Structure 1
Amino acid sequence: MADWLEFIAALIVFLLSHMFPVRPPMRPWLIARLGQNGYVLAYSVLSLLVLGWLIVAASRAPYIGILPQLEIFRWAPLVVMPLACLIAVGGIMGQNPLSFGGMGAKPFDPTRPGMLAVTRHPLLAAMALWAAAHLLANGDLAHVILFGLFASFAMMGMSMIDRRKQRSLGPGEWQRLAQGTARLNLMRMPLSVVPLLLAAGVFLTLILLHEPVIGYVPLPW
Structure 2
Amino acid sequence: MLMLVVGLVIFICVHSIRVVAPNWREMHLEKTGLVQWRTRFILLSVLSLALIVLGYQKMRLEPIWLWFPPVVVQHISALVMLVALFALGSAMVPKTSLKSKMGYPFLIAVKLWAFAHLMSNGTLADVILFGSLLVWSVASFAIYRRRDRKNGVQREESGVQYDMIAFVFAMVSWFAIVFFLHKVVIGVSPLV
TM-score range, shorter chain: 0.7 to 0.9
Matches within 5 A, 1:141-156: 141-156=124-139
Q: Residue by residue, what CA displacement relative to the aligned partner does 1:38-80 show, whole Å, maximum 9, x if unpaired?
A: x7xxx79986885575255324214111123311122233111
Is the 2:86–2:170 Cα contact (8 Å) retained in structure 1? yes
2:164 is matched by which residue type in structure 1? V
TM-score of the two chains, using structure 1 as the length reference? 0.65
Q: Percent sequence identity over matched residues?
A: 23
C-alpha displacement of 1:17: 2.3
Partner residue in 2 for 1:217 = 189
Q: Residue by residue, what CA displacement relative to the aligned partner does 1:62-111 show, whole Å, maximum 9, x if unpaired?
A: 4111123311122233111111111111122126xxxxxxxxxxxxxxxx
TM-score of the two chains, using structure 2 as the length reference? 0.74
Q: Does residue 1:77 correspond to 2:77, yes or no?
A: yes
Partner residue in 2 for 1:24 = 23
1:64 is matched by which residue type in structure 2? I
2:184 is matched by which residue type in structure 1? P
Of 52-61 and 193-202, deviating more is 52-61
C-alpha displacement of 1:135: 0.6
Is the 1:88–1:122 Cα contact (8 Å) retained in structure 2? yes
Partner residue in 2 for 1:128 = 111
1:33 is matched by which residue type in structure 2? L
**Higher helix proportion (structure 1 or 2):** 2
C-alpha displacement of 1:203: 2.3
**CA-atom RMSD, angstroms?**
3.5
Gaps of 5+ in 2: none
Query: How many residues are aligned here?
Result: 181
Matches within 5 A, 1:105-184: 114-117=97-100, 119-167=102-150, 170=151, 173-174=152-153, 177=154
Gaps of 5+ in 1: 96-112, 182-188
1:54 is matched by which residue type in structure 2? I
